[in-house]
Amino acid sequence: MDIRLDGRTALVTGGSLGLGRAMAHRFAEAGAKVAIVARRQEVLDEAKAEIEAATGGTVGAYACDIREAAEIEALFAKVAGELGPVDILVNNAGTSNAKPFMEVSDAEWQEDLDLKLFGAIRCVRQAMPGMIERKWGRIINVVSIQAKAQGPASTPTSVSRAAGMALTKALAGEGGPHGVLVNAMLVGWFKTDQFIRRHQSVAPEKSFEEYMQPWISRIPVRRIGDPFEFANMACFLASDAASYINGTAINMDGGASPVV
């Protein structure tokens, strides 16, 4: 199957590193113009140069704090002017902030919800009207497998991610009649910058695979995922090939989640 996104504009938050960078790369390979969004311009510029060199595609790098509504509004206006209206929105920005409930402060709750939930809400608010008007759109909300299976000491991230999955289902019902399909991808364990940094700071004397063994042992396929494996599914969901997939939450975890 040849997955193509020619003529489409994709916007990926958290697009400078890890899964976001891999998704942007795949979208550009498939012919889309891609806007990568994060807070650090220098990291964005590095990602833009790498993706353009590797794919020959068009990539725009936009520094934006998606916790700020005014910055989001300005971002979408700038992207529309430079790359075209957003056809594919990937809400991928976020961090893993997990600890016992009684240790989470109000400020931590608010920061987590502002980044992962309200950031996505505000991006959708900017993108969805144009998608509905054009009768075509794709929204992919990247959440965690904890959105389905919330364990102990997993707040606030498990709660904000579960809210993101609920948002996905609500939006799918509203967008579907207009050709706007909304799905969620649930992240398990992937070889991303977050885990690489942890490995280097905690156990540099071990290989990455040795350091990750406690996680690997919980994954039926017995390995950590490659970010491009995640990106392949995102590219499929963003394409016309996925025209009857709407309102679902897909585990990307090698079978680790206890919930289907």
Give buried/exposed letters for 180-195 (b at 16+ CB in 10 A, else e). bbbbbbbbbbbbbeeb
Sequence spans of domains, the chain: 9-190+226-252, 191-224
d(Cα 51, Cα 115) in Å, to the nearest integer? 25
Q: Spell out the CATH class of 9-190+226-252.
A: alpha beta
Predicted pLDDT of residue 66: 96
Name the phi and psi angles at 14, rounded to 5.
60, 40
**What is this structure's pTM?**
0.97
Do strands 59-63 and 33-38 pair parallel, antiparallel, or not at all (unpaired)? parallel
Predicted pLDDT of residue 37: 98
Q: What is the pLDDT along the chain (260 residues), one digit of tens a residue?
A: 789 999 999 999 999 999 999 999 999 999 999 999 999 999 999 999 999 999 999 999 999 999 999 999 999 999 999 999 999 999 999 888 899 999 999 999 999 999 999 999 999 999 999 999 999 999 999 999 999 999 999 999 999 999 999 999 999 999 999 999 999 999 999 999 888 998 999 899 999 999 999 999 999 999 999 999 999 999 999 999 999 999 999 999 999 999 99
Position 128, amino acid: M
**What DSSP string describes 127-169?**
HHHHHHHHT-EEEEEEEEGGGTS--TT-EEHHHHHHHHHHHHH
Contact 18, 192 (CB under 8 A): yes
